[in-house]
Amino acid sequence: MPKMKTKSSAAKRFKATGSGKLKRNKAYKSHILTKKSPKRKRNLRKAAITDKTNEKNMKKILPYL
């Protein structure tokens, strides 16, 4: 059986934590920031853990992470 390929776009966006969960950055922080409140922008800075419902698909996309 050949090696499985990692989706390189996903590899750039997700990192594995020590316990094996997937860490990701939040969306909506790249442009049109003038109308967003400082509180909203501040909360978008923090990294988030990938949701449990997406975890199975993510493990398929990132087999070696």
pLDDT digits (tens, 9 = 90+) for 8-45: 999 999 999 999 899 999 999 999 999 999 999 999 99
Please check whether residue 44 lies inside any domain of the structure. yes
Q: Which residue's entry shows tokens 């398929």?
A: 60
User: Would you place residue 1 in the very low, low, confident or very high pLDDT band (cuts 50, 70, 90)?
Assistant: confident
What Cα–Cα distance (Å) separates residue 7 from each residue in 44, 47, 53?
A: 25, 21, 19
18, 9 Cβ separation under 8 angstroms: no
pTM, entire model:
0.77
Contacts of 34 (CB under 8 A, 6+ apart): none
Residue for token pair 């109308």 = 35
Q: How many domains does the chain have?
A: 1
Domain of residue 23 covers 17-61
- Judge whether 12 lies within some domain: no
Residue 9 lies inside a defined structural domain of this protein: no
Q: Identify whether 1 is part of a domain.
A: no
